[in-house]
Amino acid sequence: MSDQSASPDATRTAVSLRTGSKVCILLALAALAVAVYFYAVPMSVRTQTGAVFSCGSASSPPDQEFQRNVCANLTDIGLFRAYLFVALALISAVVGVLLFGIERRAVPRRSRGYISEDGQFRRGRDGGSPQDSDQATDVVATPAGDGDGDESSTTGRS
């Protein structure tokens, strides 16, 4: 069996984020959650008489003329807040990865298998699967005859 470290592709480059980058990405995910909240939450306005009037949300603004006149641009404010938090999420993720960076390291490759002498693909490093070692061979034993010609053969497992 050849030595695996002698081959040029015995290692691979693994890429992972550093801790600061991970924290910035988590903050970006939180900002995205806030953006979804501002985009989906229904807004309402209190009228001069004290009644609460529903104006819809940024995702579904009012479609009737009366609702648009009462709510004015209230849903636009929610939409712009959502845009703001999406921009903050993107900026914090990109700037965090640029500032803290990523980590590259060499990792040894795992053996995936080999082709045996009989041309079969085998898994493992040292040349065999557990099924290969459990295969039994048949042994035919003939007892020493006593001369009467009635010799029977027995089959046993080793």
Domain residue spans in the chain? 11-107
Residue whose C-alpha is closest to residue 115's, from 107, 123, 106: 123
Hey, CA dihedral for 80, 84, 85, 89, is it positive or negative?
positive
Residue pLDDT, tens place only, 59-89: 888 888 887 777 878 888 899 999 999 999 9
User: Each residue of 12-29: pLDDT tens digit?
Assistant: 888 899 999 999 999 999
Angstrom distance (rounded) from CA 80 to CA 76 = 6
pTM: 0.59
